[in-house]
Amino acid sequence: MNCERANEALMLDLYGEAGETDAAALKEHLANCAACRRAAEASREALAEFRREPSPRPSRETVEAVLAAAQSRPSFGGVFALWRPALWRAVAVVVIALTASFAIKFWPRTPVPLAGERASVATQSAATETSWDAESVAVSEHIRLAQADVAIGSSLDNRIAGLRDALSELRNGSDGF
């Protein structure tokens, strides 16, 4: 253990917080180092002297002077104390109103393109029109196919009804079928 570490271990030992290994290493170091041994003895004597001295108590005059000074301070109670919550509410309403008016006045109505995006906005709008045309053609084709499916479905329904009728006639006409 070096002298610096011994000093740290000594402080822990003085307050009873040193572990067994630190206490044993400190004891060994103090046996071999006269400077640390003198510092340890001085620290132990100073701590013992400090513990013997009673803690200072303020005089009666000091206590009375402090109490008198505390009582003579102006109080902000009374009407101001009653108005304090209302004042904070009013401040909150003003802040909210200012924030809302600022947002309404300066909030952009439409997205503002950045400098690099301005050229691409025209391209995007042309592409949007082209895709709109392609989508309308596709929707028209879907409508035409659906109408064809309905026509096929109704003709199939007519054929199925005819087959059912023919089957029921066959069953009714000949008992052995």
**Band of the pLDDT at 32, cuts 50, 70, 90?**
very high
Q: What are phi and psi of 96, to 5 degrees?
A: -65, -40
Residue 49 domain-assigned?
Answer: yes
Residue 42 domain-assigned?
Answer: yes
Residue 20 domain-assigned?
Answer: yes
Distances (CA, A) of 14 to 21, 41, 45, 48: 15, 11, 11, 10
Count of all residues that appear for the chain in the document = 177
Reported as a single tens digit per residue, the pLDDT across 41-64 is 998 888 888 888 777 788 888 888
- Three-class DSSP labels, 43-96: HHHHHHHHHHCCCCCCCHHHHHHHHHHHHHCCCCCCHHHHHHHHHHHHHHHHHH
Q: Is the pTM of this model over 0.75?
A: no
For residues 111 and 124, the answer to whether their CB atoms sit within 8 Å is no
160 C-beta neighbours (distance < 10 Å), count: 10
**Band of the pLDDT at 34, cuts 50, 70, 90?**
very high
Residue 140 domain-assigned?
Answer: yes
Residue 150 domain-assigned?
Answer: yes
Reported as a single tens digit per residue, the pLDDT across 97-141 is 898 888 887 776 666 555 555 555 555 555 555 555 666 777 777
Find the helix or strand (DSSP H, E) in which 25 lies.
helix 20-32
- Rounded CA gap, 7 and 125, in Å? 79
Reported as a single tens digit per residue, the pLDDT across 2-23 is 998 988 898 888 888 888 998 8
pLDDT score, position 77: 58
Residue 155 domain-assigned?
Answer: yes
Range of the domain at 152: 128-173
pLDDT score, position 142: 73
Q: At what angle do helices 34-52 and 20-32 cross, to 10 degrees?
A: 120
Residue 147 domain-assigned?
Answer: yes
Residue 89 domain-assigned?
Answer: no
- Rounded CA gap, 25 and 73, in Å? 58
Q: How many domains is the chain built from?
A: 2
- Rounded CA gap, 173 and 163, in Å? 15
| pLDDT over 70 (residue 175) | no
**Contacts for 1 with CB less than 8 Å, ≥ 6 apart:** 9, 25, 26, 28, 29
**Band of the pLDDT at 177, cuts 50, 70, 90?**
very low
| pLDDT over 60 (residue 160) | yes
Instruction: Give just the sign of the alpha carbon dihedral 56, 60, 61, 64.
Output: positive
Query: Residue 78: left (phi > 0), alpha (psi -120 to 50), or beta?
Result: left
